[in-house]
Amino acid sequence: MSEIETEEISTEQPDEPASEAPARSAALVMAIAEAIIFVSDEPITSKILGEIIGEDKQTVQAAIEELQKEYEERSGGLQIREIAGGWQLATRTEYHEEVRKFLKTRPSAKLSLAALETLSVIAYKQPVTVPEILEIRGVQSASAIKTLLEKRLIVTKGHKETVGRPMQYGTSKDFLIQFGLNDLSDLPSIEDFEDLSITALDQQQ
């Protein structure tokens, strides 16, 4: 990748600064490159970085190599890697165990839309059975219910005394905690938002 020697250019005046920007210090180019690599979803090439920063590719390449060296030397939790022809900020492999451990314990309050829908039906219609949820949502909710049970947001509430004695579900104490409710009467009703214009509610998508 670095067949082109860049030392000469970098120390002196990066005389032909690409677009309108005047000569930037190497430290500044490093800092901006670092910020952009950080926010990028994908590995980013020196070329693209150069276009954004307004410096030529070589200057940027040299700056990032310097940055990479800096990361090596301080041996913190992160590294700059060259991947698929671009640059990327990533955790150092040494700490993969702790990182993995953390990623597993992330907040459990996050729900898929299917789970959220199912939860809302259970919250407002409890106690409610699976067939009843199906009727309201128009979709099978089995896996959503499983998720909600696993996350302890819902609990079983005994069998309903009808044909087939289907299981009924309701929300749990954890549900109240997760959603910051004192008790179920704290659940907002449609009337609570009437002032805020209900029509707007379904516009929002």
Partner 1 sequence: MQSTTEQYSFNFLTEIPEIVGGSSDELKLKLGEFAGPLDLLLYLIKQEQANIFDIPIAKITNSYLVYIRLMKSLDIAVAADFIVMAATLIEIKSKMLLPRDPAAASDAEEFEDPRKELVDQLLEYEKFKSAAQMLYERSTVEQAVFKRGAIESDDNNAEISATVFDLLTVFQKIVLRHKEEVSLEIEREEISLADMIKALRKRIFAELELNLLTFFEDFHTRRELVTAFIAVLEIVRTEEVKLVQKATFGDIFLKKVGVGSN
**Beta carbons of 18 and 55 less than 8 angstroms apart:** yes
Taking the complex as a whole, how short is the minimal distance between the CB of residue 141 and a second copy, in angstroms?
Answer: 9
Q: At its nearest, how many Å lie between a second copy and the CB of residue 119?
A: 15
**Is residue 68 involved in binding partner 1 (CB under 8 A)?**
no
Note the residue count of the chain. 205
Asked if 21 contacts 53 with a C-beta cutoff of 8 angstroms, the reply is: yes
Whether the Cβ atoms of residue 50 and residue 14 lie closer than 8 Å to each other:
no
Q: Is 163 in the site for partner 1 (CB under 8 A)?
A: no
Residue 126 contact among a second copy, partner 1, none, beta carbon within 5 to 8 Å by kind: none
Q: Please give the Cα distance from 53 to 55 (Å, whole number).
A: 6
Task: Measure Cα distances from 17 to 13, 66, 197, 205 in Å.
Answer: 9, 19, 55, 46
Q: How far is the CB of 114 from partner 1 (least distance, A)?
A: 5
53 binds partner 1 (CB under 8 A): no
Find which of partner 1, a second copy, none residue 67 binds, CB within 5 to 8 Å per kind. a second copy
**176 contacts a second copy (rule: CB under 8 A):** no
Looking at the Cβ atoms of 6 and 129, the one nearer to partner 1 is 129
Cis peptide before 22 (omega within 30 of 0): no
- 26 part of the interface to a second copy, by CB under 8 A: no
162 binds, among a second copy, partner 1, none (CB under 5 to 8 A by kind): none
Q: Which of 1, 51, 4, 3 is nearest to 29 (CA)?
A: 51
Which of 70, 112, 116, 184 forms a contact with a second copy (CB under 8 A)?
A: 70
